[in-house]
Structure 1
Amino acid sequence: MSPTEETRNNDQAPEIGENTRTRPFVAPCRQLAPTAPLRWLKQGLQDFKQAPLLSMIYGSLFMLASWLIALWSWQVGSFTMLIVLFAAFVFLGPALAMGLYSVSCQLDRGMKPRIGFCLSQGRKRLGNQMVFAFALLVIFLVWARAAAIVNIFLPMAREPNFNEMLTFLIIGSVVGLLFSVVVYCASVFSLPMIMDREVDAITAVLTSVNAVLRNKTAMLLWALIILGSVVLGFLTLFLAFVVTLPVIGYASWRGYRETIIGDEWPQDPDTAA
């Protein structure tokens, strides 16, 4: 080998090593202040104000879906079915929020948010979204089976009295809480990361769980804020969903950008700020 060829090969070696460097299984996260979710909520409200029409379209779709679920459950006369269907809405809801993350991305870039841009980003991440949605569906089906078992051991009459309903709600809520914690930890940061970075679904989920465990106080507050928005929606016959759900979606994106350090993974050029 001539000296010139040896020099050329030595010059290329660092570049090859850099390209084949193995990425970690989990993206690192920042340590959050306990009140950080309040800042995310404020930023989410600002995003809503910057894109009010598109935000209300998304919120109205969630509201209509809730009305349809409630109406169908009332027609079949099954209180249990209402709980199960709303659980499906909650469990699979994170996968439906991808468009809201895209709106915040567009605002970050100084763009006017467009539905077409949201759909384009969604198509690019369709594979990982489907993997994640399938995982959520499996979790929901397991939860539905657990709920059915609870209903077997605690059968309710067609018109249950207060004690029957209270017992069923307490036990069912405990069972549902366990599954909700799993879904919350796995999805709170993973879906924004899937849209923002060239990352697989498993890495994104592990990153999300790691970030939640390392910021328990802040993430507990964020979970309570999400729960409060759902309760407010119920109290207003789902009318509040027109505003609260888009704001929560935008705030989730802001929380992801503040918490997760994903520099090891290439950023989608369409979402680069």
Structure 2
Amino acid sequence: MLSDRNTPPEPEGHDEHSLIPEVVPPLPRENRLARELPWHTALKWLREGWSDLWTNPVPSLLYGLGVFIVSALVVWLMFRFELDYFVFPALAGFMVLGPLIANGLYVKSRNIEIGARTSLFGMLFVRPRSGPSALFMGVILLMLFLLWMRAAVLIWALFFGIKPFPGMDEIIPTLFTTPTGWALLIVGGSVGALFAAFAFSISVFAVPMLLQEKTDALSALGISMAMVWNNLAVMIAWGAIVLALFLVSVATGLLGLIIVFPLLGHGTWHAYRDLRPADRQEGESERLFLQPV
């Protein structure tokens, strides 16, 4: 006998919800970027950097001397051509370009690990494994530095108007003895801190990564920021050490850079080694934006 039902019969022994799979939470995934190092590991990096500095010290000290001479020359040229209003932003912007300038120091620390001796020539003429991507990294950091310089000029104009810079002998008392000066210090310091924090996070590991691994510049920037974010406590401690030693160098008329810059460069290499998984350092790095050919 034919049935007048047009729909297929329901399966026996099942309710209406039995055909829908249950929603289960995803399996936990290991966060390989989080190394869970205590904050005082930053002091270990500083000690290891000190050890690298005094292992075959002449190339490192000459490297630091070169950084001091170039920095002092740039500051002198600013005063010579009446661009002294750029001095404070330029000193703050030094934190942006610092990791890029320290490439040769990373090479020496890497060679110390394998028992090789490094000459000053080998530190000055570096061949990163990532090739042209390292040059692109330099362009990115330089553009960020120029953006900060422009922002500093705009902040000055917002508080003091569009007028000639009065000179260091007048501006320093104005900054510390007037309400407008204090407001400029607070706003300018806050904006500068944001620039410095961003530049530090994207470059502190990106530059040694491009030296050691084969990847692209944008991926290195993103991975560096992720490494900093996932190891925030120890990286805040390392950033505080970098800032404190740089301020000491400024207080000594930049002479301190002769020792401080190589010390921080070597220490940064050890920070990269501790936070970056070893298999990623030796093999092909992951690429966030470009796929390997």
TM-score by structure 1 length? 0.81
Q: CA deviation at 1:193?
A: 1.2
Query: What is aligned with 2:113?
Result: 108
Question: Is 1:195 matched with 2:211?
Answer: yes
Q: CA deviation at 1:120?
A: 5.3
Q: CA deviation at 1:148?
A: 1.6
Q: 8 Å contact 2:212–2:281 — kept in the other structure? A: no
Distance 1:34 1:186 in 2: 20
Q: CA deviation at 1:250?
A: 0.3
Distance 1:227 1:251 in 2: 14
Question: Is 1:140 matched with 2:155?
Answer: no
Q: CA deviation at 1:171?
A: 2.2
Q: CA deviation at 1:143?
A: 1.6
Over residues 163-184 of structure 1, what are the superposed CA-to-partner deviations in whole Å (9 max), with x where a residue is unaligned? 4354333322211111111101
Query: What is aligned with 1:164?
Result: 175
Q: CA deviation at 1:78?
A: 4.2
Distance 1:98 1:27 in 2: 25
Query: In structure 2, do the counterparts of structure 1 residues 114 and 95 end up closer, same or farther at CA, with 3 Å as the change threshold?
Result: same
Distance 1:207 1:29 in 2: 12
After the TM superposition, which of the residue ranges 115-124 and 82-91 deviates more from structure 2? 115-124
Residue type at the aligned position of 1:192: P
Question: Is 1:263 matched with 2:279?
Answer: yes
Q: CA deviation at 1:242?
A: 0.7
Q: CA deviation at 1:52?
A: 0.8
Q: CA deviation at 1:264?
A: 4.1
Q: For residue 50 of structure 1, give the secondary structure of its aligned residue in structure 2.
A: coil
Paired residue for 2:239, among 223, 232, 236?
223
Q: CA deviation at 1:59?
A: 0.5
Question: Is 1:42 matched with 2:58?
Answer: no
Unaligned runs of 5+ in 1: 1-25, 269-273
Query: What is aligned with 2:259?
Result: 243
Q: For residue 238 of structure 1, give the secondary structure of its aligned residue in structure 2.
A: coil
Over residues 144-175 of structure 1, what are the superposed CA-to-partner deviations in whole Å (9 max), with x where a residue is unaligned? 22112111112253422624354333322211
> How many residues align structurally?
243
1:167-186 to structure 2, matched below 5 A, reads: 167=182, 168-186=184-202
Query: In structure 2, do the counterparts of structure 1 residues 214 and 161 end up closer, same or farther at CA, with 3 Å as the change threshold?
Result: closer
Q: 8 Å contact 1:69–1:86 — kept in the other structure? A: no
Residue type at the aligned position of 1:55: S
Q: Which has the larger radius of gyration?
A: 2
Query: What is aligned with 2:23?
Result: none
Over residues 56-84 of structure 1, what are the superposed CA-to-partner deviations in whole Å (9 max), with x where a residue is unaligned? 11100111122112212332344421123
1:25-104 to structure 2, matched below 5 A, reads: 28-104=33-109
Residue type at the aligned position of 2:148: W
Q: 8 Å contact 1:44–1:251 — kept in the other structure? A: yes
Query: What is aligned with 1:122?
Result: 127
Residue type at the aligned position of 1:96: I
Q: CA deviation at 1:267?
A: 4.3
Unaligned runs of 5+ in 2: 1-30, 285-293
Q: For residue 87 of structure 2, give the secondary structure of its aligned residue in structure 1.
A: helix
Q: For residue 160 of structure 1, give the secondary structure of its aligned residue in structure 2.
A: helix
Identical amino acids, percent of aligned pairs = 26
Q: CA deviation at 1:30?
A: 1.8
Q: 8 Å contact 2:128–2:210 — kept in the other structure? A: no
Distance 1:161 1:258 in 2: 42
Q: CA RMSD in A?
A: 2.2
TM-score by structure 2 length? 0.76
Query: What is aligned with 1:212?
Result: 228
Query: In structure 2, do the counterparts of structure 1 residues 200 and 164 end up closer, same or farther at CA, with 3 Å as the change threshold?
Result: same
Distance 2:136 2:55 in 1: 32
Q: 8 Å contact 2:130–2:215 — kept in the other structure? A: no
Q: CA deviation at 1:39?
A: 0.2
